[in-house]
Amino acid sequence: MTTVTSPLNGRAIGLAAVPDPVFSGAMVGPGTAVDPVREPSAAVAPVDGVVVSLHPHAFVVVDSEGHGVLTHLGIDTVQLNGDGFELLVNKGDTVTRGQAVVRWNPAAVEEAGKSPICPVIALEATADALGDVREEGDLKTGDTLFTWQ
């Protein structure tokens, strides 16, 4: 079983509250979302694994069980073309849970007219494969978001 932890400090809001139909409709996969604290921070790896996809606004870490976890920093933030995001690792790097992956500022994302809400998605999973999904309440970086069978 994989335990997926929060990449950020903030508040769990669940996918249904994400202002994007692709994420709120779980079309990318099941999971939850974090409404981050509005201060500069580093998004961290939610699992131990290998960084298989890395963009300024999103990254995927695949763990030893083959579970890929997408962390998407904000909504429509690809349109910012990397402005305000700093990559701290490289694609192909092995990372440990809690290791900083991307530095960013959710307040600056919001000022640029984008939502800073961060979906955390279990790629290629079925909804019934997830357990203990956090959809409300305050979160600290490293708190459990969900488990994945």
Active-site residue list: 72
Q: Find where tokens 């769990």 sit.
A: 12
Asked if residue 138 lies in contact with residue 145, where contact means CB atoms within 8 angstroms, the answer is no
Which helix (H) or strand (E) covers residue 22, if one does? helix 21-24
The neighbouring-strand residues paired with 58 are 55, 72
> E strands within the chain?
2-5, 10-12, 31-36, 41-44, 49-55, 58-62, 68-72, 86-87, 94-95, 100-104, 118-122, 130-131, 138-139, 144-148
Sequence-distant (≥ 6) Cβ neighbours of residue 4 within 8 angstroms: 31, 46, 47, 69, 120, 122, 144, 145, 146, 147, 148
